A and B are shown apart, each in its own frame.
Chain A
Amino acid sequence: MEAMRKKAVDALPGSSWTPLEINPNLPPERADIVIVGGGVVGWSIAYWLKQKEMVRGGVRVLVVEKDPTYSQASTVLSAGGIRQQFSLPENIHLSLASADFMRNINDHLGVLNEDPIDLQFNHSGYLFLASEAVAHIMEENYSTQRYAGAKVSLLSPTQLKEKFPWLNTEGVVLASYGLENEGWFDPWTLLNAFKRKAISMGAIQCCGEVTVCTSFFPTSDDGMSACVEQVQMPNSLEYQPVECAIVVNAAGAFSGKLTEMLGIGFGPKQSIAGIPLPVEPRKRYVYVVHCPDGPGLDTPFLIDYSGVYVRREGLGGNYIAGASPEEAAEPDASNLEVDHSFFEENVWPHLAFRVPAFEKLKVTSAWAGFYDYNTFDQNAIIGTHPLINNMYFATGFSGHGLQHSPAVGRAVAELILDGSYKTLDLSGFGFNRILTQEPKLERNIV
């Protein structure tokens, strides 16, 4: 009786029953926009595309993510910080817009009848320390940041000592402290919030890897149109070609592989086709340490001029610390194994010098994650490529992708649906700067 009723319901118009079995794991045969990469940037773009379509079901958005456990994704392995203390006004505006988004996250990403989102945003701010050599850069950055609207303050060593008595101010000439919209949050929550909201608005997700991506018109002189030829199912020989109008490259650390499939980087040396996408994975270590006599609840995200950083994690006397390695001593990026001697040699000495309480600490845990490192100028690459008409890049963030993800998602959605940037002008981050060899460098890079 129940089976008959179910059959009758299936036969009515509106049900998705078809006489031929369709494998539900496979992505649809065609989608309007395929976002390659299901990290926070990819899902942010999917959310904003669905937000900006004018009619429900306006664009069919497919997000392809090869690893649903996110074991190697940069998003969830990130330290989760957000700051406005950049030297480029675009970066400052991106962070401000993202902070504003996250402050009102339940208005944006709340789903009816679902739990509200708690990002666990710790508003403790960032504290950058400057030595004699770089103090003038910090002052110039300070005026840029204030002009852009960031709430930052400069502190002298005496003010520092007053505010943070646990800090050793030897060698510090100037410090820059973020008063609002700076701190850290839980990246996994943000990713899931974007994902849940985008799916509730009709975005489609698929677990698979894009293995072949070729051009529609291989013999045309007007440039290529990327088309996802094959999405390979995990642990299987099954694949599905997806016909699409637009491909968004939000694959993070692995973005270079996608553009290589289209032949970018394999052309003659002096031609546009010969210049590859300069994004490669770079391994960064994060160490969790326990120090019972450590700084306390008002500890900001401290960044020393030696490159070492530390922030509070939770309320039990735990801290997260790490450092950027030297250019020459970059660790091997083929795996995510942690090198504990890096902590002993490169992080702990500077940490203990700066914060004497950290002389007595215990490393309880550690992990490694990839930066989607832009080898050219360590800043985002957003926009189209001159040779591929319909591929949009949103990659190369080199460590500040998570904090910019809401604003970048909105910018890319505006680029796709409105044709140009409407709220923030990110044309400075276009691919053309790589072709004209004009790097857009940050003056303090972490």
Chain B
Amino acid sequence: MLKILLPTIMLVPTIWAVPAKYLWSTTLSYSLIISLISLTWLKSSAESGWSFLSPYMATDPLSTPLLALTCWLLPLMILASQNHTAPEPISRQRTYITLLTSLQIFLIMAFSATEVIMFYIMFEATLIPTLVIITRWGNQTERLNAGTYFLFYTLAGSLPLLVALLLLQNNTGTLSLLTLQYTPSMQLSSFADKLWWAGCLLAFLVKMPLYGAHLWLPKAHVEAPIAGSMVLAAVLLKLGGYGMMRMMIMLEPLTKELSYPFIIFALWGVIMTGSICLRQTDLKSLIAYSSVSHMGLVAAGILIQTSWGFTGALILMIAHGLTSSALFCLANTNYERTHSRTMILARGLQMVLPLMTAWWFIASLANLALPPLPNLMGELMIITSLFHWSWWTIALTGGGTLITAGYSLYMFLMTQRGPLPAHIISLDPTHSREHLLMALHLLPLILLISKPELIWGWTA
């Protein structure tokens, strides 16, 4: 555990000590080495249960894929940020990478936490670097509004969580995840217990986000710079899913009835946000709403508490993390060239940048859950377990799949095909850095087709 955490912490002084000429290449290679070492976590010694144990941190098949995704994302974020921070003074560039690294540290500690309070503290701590990234490096005046929404939605959701955790600590005497599965289930009969149940889950539902509490997400994603969008879409949303999966064990008998409205919200959100995607003019906004759509499916999968649901949710979280981040990177390559996020002004790009079209194609196909990519495997498992839970959900999930395919193809055809406007005829050709970025996003996704056991979670 420490062999990943300490090098990540030591990346911070490295950023400040390295000469300016080598800043980006050093940080990139350093974080890439960390991420490659983090892949050793995936080979867990026990099929279920905890590995790499220490008093405060441990990994298990649920947190390992998320940890690997987190560590994988840091070099990708550094690669993506190199261009747009280039005109800034060097100390500001260093600050930027420091923020990304500190976010990484908090995320590693959050996903590997054994104590729920530590998870909570790290969950809250990730807000700070993200807020700074959005409000300081975003492009528009609206970023202040976006940061406010992001901060207050998450805080308002997580304050009840703190109270709920303290109550739990009082009740059971411990909040260690290691022993949580062995504690006898509590007597949850009073109305206050129902509020406690809601308090436990609300923070994660807002973070996922659940459809009714999703307003912060399009704002935050659109206004954030590319690295901010990447980490938000790929990892921070998964914090919500991970938290829910951990908490589910102790919320036991209440969930059967109380989760009903939230499952309905989540499934309805899949349809609604998918339809909103079809009407979007802003490319980043479209990808942000598609994130809400996919996460709605994940939330529904977790709330029904079946093993297939959990597995599907985990697979979809990992696959969506890689796909969404890839799409944001593609949108950023567009933005850097035309300085506009409007889709109608950057059309027919297949004529000008044909190799980038290949990446757009693969990323769009991944987004619409094409077999045999893990996106489909995750969605399929969730949809089948939902069908088993109630036959009627197939209408919503089936419609959702259709709409997802619709807007993914819409996004691809709008940007790549169509008439080429006169002002795009001469664009910068695709840099190797951008090709590398896309390859590093989509290659793990494609490789996961052959070994999905890595991201299955507990169900072996």
Contact = CB atoms under 8 A, between A and B. Distances in A.
Contacts of A225: 339
Contacts of B141: 18, 22, 28-29
Contacts of A4: none
Given A222-B426, A245-B342, A389-B426, A19 B281 contact: no
A315 interface: no
A238 interface: no
Given A59-B345, A217-B428, A419-B348, A32 B421 contact: no
B418 to A, nearest CB: 8
B82 interface: no
A390 to B, nearest CB: 4
Contacts of B347: 419
Contact of B340 (A29, A55, A244, A415): A244
B413 to A, nearest CB: 13
B175 interface: no
The A interface is mostly helix, strand or loop, or mixed, namely loop
Contacts of A30: 139-140, 339
Interface residues of A, number: 39
Given A53-B344, A58-B344, A245-B345, A415 B422 contact: yes
Contact of A416 (B139, B281, B421, B425): B421
A243 B339 contact: yes
B423 A245 contact: yes
A45 to B, nearest CB: 14
B421 A417 contact: yes
Q: How large is the interface on B (under 10, 10 to 19, 20 to 34, 35 or more residues)?
A: 20 to 34
Contacts of B423: 245-246, 384, 389-390, 392, 416
Contacts, number: 90
A59 B344 contact: yes
A38 interface: no
Contacts of A268: none
A58 B140 contact: no
Interface string B403-421: 0000000000000001111
Contacts of B427: 222, 389
B352 to A, nearest CB: 11
Given A32-B342, A59-B344, A389-B425, A53 B144 contact: no
Interface of B: 139-141, 144-145, 148, 215, 279-281, 338-340, 342, 344-345, 347-348, 418-428
Interface of A: 13, 18-20, 22, 28-30, 32-33, 53-55, 57-60, 216-217, 220, 222-223, 225, 227, 243-246, 383-384, 389-390, 392, 415-420
CB-CB nearest 4 A-B residue pairs: A245-B340, A419-B419, A390-B423, A58-B281
Given A19-B144, A60-B342, A418-B419, 13 more contacts: A18-B141, A22-B141, A54-B344, A58-B344, A59-B344, A222-B426, A243-B339, A244-B340, A384-B422, A384-B423, A415-B421, A415-B422, A420-B422
